[in-house]
Chains A and B, each alone.
Chain A
Amino acid sequence: MGVRLILKNGILTAVLSGEIDHHSAREIRNEIDSTASKVKPKTLILDFSAVQFMDSSGVGLIMGRCKLMQIWDGSVEIANLPPKIERIVSLAGLNQLCVVRKGNLDESDE
């Protein structure tokens, strides 16, 4: 499990990889939050392209980051969601809380 953080033009992108469960969520949360609370980005993008597994602990992780970003009126976007993980994200109704982008996202299009 890993997190790679990229800060560019006020947008913080967290590139997640590996398996997201209760065990790995704590470290991911700490990594993202320590940087996010320092730079207070306008947008936090969670990039799921390299995530192989996620259960409801990952849903809690996403919901928690949405709450954090709301403190300074920022927002969360979920990008590059693999179809397997998309199912649990839609079951959780996360599209009500943040922007959900499926499949491949070409960043230059934004």
Chain B
Amino acid sequence: MKVMNEMSVSFPSCSANEGFARAAVAAFVAQLDPTVDELCDIKTAVSEAVTNCIVHAYRDTIGTVYINCKIFADGKVIVKVRDRGCGIPDIRQAMQPMFTTAEGERAGLGFAVMESFMDRLHVTSKPGRGTSVILQKTLERRPASHG
């Protein structure tokens, strides 16, 4: 299926941008006329992925977070969240619920939330090079409510 529309946005890894990132993706995805619940799922997953870049990838520094979002006519949404941070040595272990490397109050649930709120989650990473998280969800197509 052909891409219907696409957007990219990048920003420094300051925590103030977490709200901006999920709002930007939500505003773009709104073109597909999602339900409130679908939009909430996407916002939550994007928030998890972006927070991980800020908290883990660029732990003691500020780096750039890259988001690319594609939407398709059949309702499919693909969001890619990428960083050039520290990378993940063992992805399988990192994705286990409750696994966290951060001290402080982290539940270790970010990946579990992304997995459960989206249809598909794909993570690639190279230690020292960075991490890329691809989130996919197909929105239910409803008959248009207005012409």
The residues of A with any CB-CB pair to B shorter than 8 Å are 19, 21-23, 25, 29, 53, 55-57, 59-61, 63-64, 84, 88, 91-92
| Residue pair B19, A57 in contact (C-beta under 8 Å) | no
> Chain B residues in contact with chain A, CB under 8 A?
15-16, 18-19, 22, 37, 40, 43-44, 47-48, 51, 54-55, 104-107, 109-110, 112-113, 116
A-B pairs under 8 A by CB, number: 57
B51 with A88: CB separation less than 8 A: no
A35 CB to closest chain B CB (Å) equals: 18
Complex contact A55–B106 (CB within 8 A):
no
Q: Verify A19–B19 contact, CB threshold 8 A.
A: yes
A57 to B51 Cα, complex, angstroms: 9
- Neighbouring A residues of B18 by C-beta, 8 Å: 21-23
Question: Are A91 and B116 within 8 A (Cβ)?
Answer: yes
Once bound together, how far apart are the Cα atoms of A92 and B97, in whole Å?
9
Q: Which residues of A contact B43 (CB under 8 A)?
A: 53
State the CA gap A72–B55 with chains docked (Å).
31
